Structure 1
């Protein structure tokens, strides 16, 4: 599938900021399931710094902006060709050992309800089968409902609420997998459409679980499937904060407002 992506993030401040420093994890991953043909990151009036590939295989790019400024825009446009690998992350080069992803964070720390849910599948000798069952448990336990959770909502809180968005599904699945001694991590990216064919007009997130000889396998509990050709992978981390596509610090005392617009379209053959 050939996808055209546009993604614009606008930060507005009620008082001018003096300076801004950002770290952008906004470049598509390199692996067998996707190939980037064009990709442009723009920060109008910004100064592009050096970039590097981190231990997880993600490309990180630094930007700075000198104020005063009351609005900062991060704009991405690009073309990516994808294919279905049944969720398996083949050909992705990284240095971090999978066992590092057994470590919990505040967002994924389990409570008694998560521990009970993780053990409800019983004993499994097949790690892949267990991972699928854990993903199905999360899909059933948390109904997709935008606007009911916040960026700071934890896996335990989302499970107790029984509702949430893709971030909550990913955090809950990561928590369950780690409870069953399966390394798991959070993945940020894009989705062309949901399983029922409805357009997806936002950035997306899912989990990857390490399952022995297969390596990392993606699971999107929010949509009850493994990532296929509709998905574009950007980067990963221990949780949503660690894998955030945009991280930064603004110097100033103004209140920040955020607006995000994402468009993922299929390019039809000529």
Structure 2
């Protein structure tokens, strides 16, 4: 069942019943599908994460960008329990509900860990894989990630997080901090977020990691993207992934923090589109 959202909020698109969970998802464009899975910042939504990428990819692709369970405007589960299993099952159920047998997959940070897990568990459902600033291997949690997951709502706390996310400080201003703070305090948002990654938070880094042998067995052509100055997820995670995934290529953006798709929008979009288009003309 699909409910068309009647709202002027660009973060809300289609509300679709996914196995009993009313799921907000952006479904734009036509062509070979690409699913985009957002990161795990406070108040995040698919649109907040991918707003500069969805319109460009949708010129050539059918773009599916859901708010994952517990995030954005998707319904929260009654038990407020979250896990890789639940998130991966949600993603697969979205594809099943939309009748998509195979898709390209783009994951950002936390979404990269889910994309890895999805590709490992359902390799036939994924054609090509893009991982941006990805979690998915174990590492010592950074102060930046600990601050992100430990966020307690205030404008000042949001300003501090934006400083961590972006290398280019011109992208961080009071208006953006206020906007993202307001997003983080919408009904149910912080309650769900606080339930996902309680201290000690190293265990959640490890819980999101896939086994080395499973990552090494991935057959997919994979594009790995990382900002050199990323303070949230260390560059070493992408170096490790590029060594473990046989059909991988790694692109590192200099003068870039955790927001590659925002700090280097045009170059990021072109890189992803070119990579995905290679599969159209093998």
Question: Relative to total residues, which structure has the larger strand share, 1 or 2?
Answer: 1
TM normalised by structure 1 equals 0.23
> Larger RCO: Structure 1 or Structure 2 (Cα < 8 Å, ≥ 6 residues apart)?
1
* Bigger Rg, structure 1 or 2: 1
Question: Relative to total residues, which structure has the larger helix share, 1 or 2?
Answer: 2
